[in-house]
Chains A and B, each alone.
Chain A
Amino acid sequence: MEKRVTFRGWWLPLLLIAPQVIISAVFFFYPAGQAIWQSLFIPDPFGLSAQFVGFGNFEYLLGDKYYRTSFLTTAIFSILVTLCSMVPALFLAVIADRLIKGSGVYRTMLIWPYAVAPAVAGVLWLFMFNTRVGVVSWYLGQLGYDWNHVLNGGEAMGLVVVASAWGRISYNFLFFFAALQSVPRSVIEAAAIDGAHFWRRFFTIVLPMLSPTAFFLLVVNVVYAFFETFGVIHTITSGGPQQSTTILVYKVFADGFVGQDLGSSSAQSVILLIVVGVLTVIQFKYVEKRVHY
């Protein structure tokens, strides 16, 4: 039998949810509605006139092979960023969890990179890999490897992935670390007595118990890779060379604020909204089934 608190009348409950509703309406529904409305027009930059084109902007976009390629670029980028930020974070969390002494120091230091804004992280990594003065590219040169992310698309992708994932490792580390602390010691000890070594215990007991956290992080990191990595890409590659790092959200910016093509830009944000919506539904429908709470 469920316990429910019931309100008498409508006013109090409405008042209580009002702040959240107002914030969502002003900062989410209104702009999203505007984007959907604008995606049906080709306006001039100054807002002096606009022509209704129906789904013309979408037709134009989907007919553009560079836009379609951008989906693939985004998929590769998001998968790499998610992997590169979650796997090391889990590894570090497991190691830090085993520490007896000084774990507080390690924990604090591992969280630091999260405080660095993406654009600043971008500049940091750019300096290290700068083809002229970069420390890392200089050492690579000493080893006989000619690093040039300015012309090599693969290297450019690698660099933006690492720069985007780096600060994110801290965030993921925090969640994994907290989740590890809540794994019951008794279960692990029982397994140890049965003769299971550390990695066996990890894969058969700890990892399944971490699955709700891992699932949450998967969703959050994919959304991060889709939207918040803009600063990194803008500072390091500006989408180049030859569009090899132009992810969908960067193209929204480029068309809207470099090209002043607000119709196309709005249509792209609508497409992006749909893509992320579908992805989240898929994640909840299929991946969540494998999660044990």
Chain B
Amino acid sequence: MKKYLLGAIAATTALSPIAAMAQTEVQFWHAFTGRLGELVAAQVEEFNASQSDYVVVQSHKGNYSETLNAGIAAFRAQEQPHILMVFEVGTATMMAAGGAIRPVYEVMGESGASFDPDAYIGAVKGYYTTTDGDMLSLPFNSSTPVLWVNRDAMSAAGVDPDTDMSTWEQVGEVLDALKAGGEDCPLVTAWQSWIHLENFSAYHNVPFASQDNGFAGLDTELMLNGPGQVAHLTAMGEWAKDGKFIYTGRRNEGGANFRAGECALFTESSAGYAGISSEAKFDFEVRPLPYWKAVADEPQNTIIGGASLWVMSGHDAEEYKGVGEFMSFLSTSDVQAAWHQNTGYLPITIEAGEATRAAGFYDENPGTDIAVIQMTANQPTANSKGLRLGSFDQIRGIIDEELEAIWAGDKSAQEAMDSAKERGDALLRRFEQANR
């Protein structure tokens, strides 16, 4: 009997990848399901098959917020994973937690894995590096907002689908024409705060918050009530009142309307490509995000949304070597090019972008390079490097509420943004106090 039992144990141990002999295990928690989840699993499998020293174990922990909370709870219970995926708005929270994380540049340096910080696209890594240029977390999935156009809807309303829509001034005229042509939903948006405030500010090179958008210190205050932002939101508010801009919700609810062909114009992440290209039964096109000629002569660059991989503290040196190897693998050109082409997310290295272009992907899928061009057109400034604000997930909630007040006509854009600043600043002060 005892013999059988031992045999059974030996058999199950041999079958289980976790207990495979002499391999170091690396836990990787992420927030992807569905198609994206499959692609992550495939990356991990490929890495595990490529070498025999380390085994990466990936687990899905819910959406972005839930994954971050799972990571925090696990750290408190001292059961944290080695690698935790954190969305871009959680960056300040992770950065402030000096004792809970290990900066990526440090881990990579110690692990001896190949790591060249200059290989990463500036506008992508900028979000996750210190003001001294040290990379704190590895960019994983990044996207940026663009303008999606339903060409059939434009034609149906009697508007030339090739009309120039580089500026919001021009878009305003197109919206008038669409409305006059009988279009019920001329413009719809996803992620309103991210696109129409955070990216708006970077794109027009105006500050979103003081202290270089929070990069230079925790004593930052929101500056989203400046004349540029207010002018844009005032125009959007007018459009909402006239039924030219249709508000559908705080997240990407508008995507369903656009993909069903109900709306003509849609401001959404470049990563919307996978969904739109598979569902849209109309002729669509990707255009650069419009800018206001009256606010800036030339657009600066847009900023990213998405997530990065943070290394958590409290593990053995040998395990960190595995983390380094895995991150080095993720940054290779082939892995990145495949990820970029499959998902519509931006490549994180310059080389991967070039490889994609050389493979003719952009010619076959026109518009997929707009996001890359838009992000890399200019060297990022202090206003367009990104945002690093504490409690930012919740501040976005406040901004959403205030924007809803504008769309409903309850507040003017100036009143709403003044209020958003006041309420957001209170949270920033709390965060400053908690992380002093």
Contact = CB atoms under 8 A, between A and B. Distances in A.
A242 B434 contact: no
Contacts of A260: 69, 72, 93, 391
Given A64-B426, A151-B407, A45 B248 contact: no
B404 A47 contact: no
B430 A261 contact: yes
Contacts of B262: 132
27 contacts: A44-B96, A44-B434, A46-B72, A48-B98, A48-B100, A51-B436, A60-B430, A66-B423, A132-B257, A151-B247, A152-B408, A240-B401, A241-B404, A242-B402, A242-B404, A242-B408, A242-B410, A243-B401, A254-B394, A257-B65, A258-B65, A258-B393, A259-B393, A259-B394, A259-B427, A260-B391, A261-B394
Contacts of A122: none
B423 to A, nearest CB: 7
Chain B's interface size range is 35 or more
B2 interface: no
Nearest to B423: A66
B64 to A, nearest CB: 11
Contacts of A167: none
A46 B75 contact: yes
Contacts of A241: 401, 404, 408
A258 B72 contact: no
A150 B249 contact: yes
Interface residues of A, number: 32
B433 to A, nearest CB: 5
B397 A254 contact: yes
B60 interface: no
A150 B189 CA distance: 14
Contacts of A51: 433-434, 436
B280 interface: no
Interface in A108-133: 131-133
Interface string A219-247: 00000000000000000001111110000
A26 to B, nearest CB: 17
A250 B272 CA distance: 30
B435 interface: yes
Interface centre among B247, B256, B434 (most CB of A within 10 A): B434
Contact of A151 (B99, B393, B408): B408
B76 interface: yes
A181 to B, nearest CB: 46
B394 A258 contact: yes
Contacts of A264: 430
B84 to A, nearest CB: 11
Interface string B81-122: 000000000000100111110000000000000000000000
A255 interface: yes
